[in-house]
Amino acid sequence: MAQQNSFDIVSEVNLQEVDNAVNQAQKEIIQRYDFKGIHTSIELDQKEKKIILITGNEFHLKSVVDILQSKLIKRSVPIKALRYGTIEQASGNSVRQTVTLQIGIAKDDAKIITKLVKDSKLKVQTQIMDDQVRVSGKNKDDLQAVMGLIRNYEFSFALQFVNYR
Q: What is the CATH number of the domain that holds 36?
A: 3.30.70.990
Q: How many domains does the chain have?
A: 2
Residue 155 has pLDDT above 90, yes or no: no
What CA–CA distance (Å, rounded) separates 45 from 48? 6
Q: Rounded mean pLDDT of the chain?
A: 88
**pLDDT on residue 18:** 92
Does one domain contain both 97 and 21?
A: yes
Q: Report pLDDT for 2.
A: 55
Beta bridge partners of 50: 45, 100
The predicted pLDDT at position 117 comes to 87
The arithmetic mean of pLDDT across residues 108-126, rounded, is 87
Q: Do 115 and 81 share a domain, yes or no? A: no
- Residues 89, 111, single domain; the answer is no
- Looking at the fold, whether 48 and 80 belong to one and the same domain comes out as yes
- Residues 86, 146 share a domain: no
How far apart, in whole angstroms, are the C-alpha atoms of residue 26 and residue 55? 12
Which among 52, 76, 101 is the end of a domain?
101
pLDDT digits (tens, 9 = 90+) for 55-95: 988 899 999 999 999 999 999 999 998 999 998 988 878 89
- Bigger pLDDT: 130 vs 25: 25
- 88 and 108 co-located in one domain: no
User: What's the CA angle centered on 95, arms 91 and 96, to 5 degrees?
Assistant: 100
User: What is the domain-level CATH number for residue 120?
Assistant: 3.30.70.860
> Are the C-beta atoms of 96 and 90 separated by less than 8 Å?
yes
Whole domain around residue 141: which residue ranges? 5-12+104-162
CA 159 to chain centre: 8
